[in-house]
């Protein structure tokens, strides 16, 4: 079994509101309202955690108990996202 992350680091294209339409579409899906323990994953959120943070903000309007997990392979991006999370909490 390999240790550490496996995968390829992408360009990390991330901008505020870049995925707003997708976020709103996910928030409108009946499955989000029906599930007993909502969990959503933002896989490869990019240069900063803004997409995962915005996703949580938008989904929480429909489902306040939603948990959003952002996964990123690049350690520097993870550190940036952790700092952003501290700033918004």
Average pLDDT of span 58-85: 94
Domain definitions of the chain by residue range: 38-88
Q: What's residue 15's pLDDT?
A: 84
Strand, helix or coil at 70?
strand
Residue 72 CA to residue 55 CA, distance in Å, equals 15
- Measured CA to CA in angstroms, residue 22 lies from 1, 5, 54 at distances of 35, 27, 11
Give pLDDT tens digits for 8-58: 888 877 788 989 999 999 999 999 999 999 999 999 888 889 999 999 999
Q: What's residue 1's pLDDT?
A: 61
Q: What's residue 2's pLDDT?
A: 64
């Amino acid at each position: 079994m390999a240790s550490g992350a496996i995968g390829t680091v992408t360009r990390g294209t991330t901008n505020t509101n870049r995925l707003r339409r997708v976020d709103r579409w996910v928030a409108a899906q009946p499955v989000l309202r029906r599930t007993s323990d909502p969990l959503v994953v933002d896989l490869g959120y990019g240069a900063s955690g803004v997409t995962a943070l915005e996703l949580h903000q938008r989904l929480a309007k429909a489902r306040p108990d939603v948990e959003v997990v952002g996964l990123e392979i690049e350690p520097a991006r993870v550190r940036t996202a952790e700092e952003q999370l501290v700033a918004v909490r």
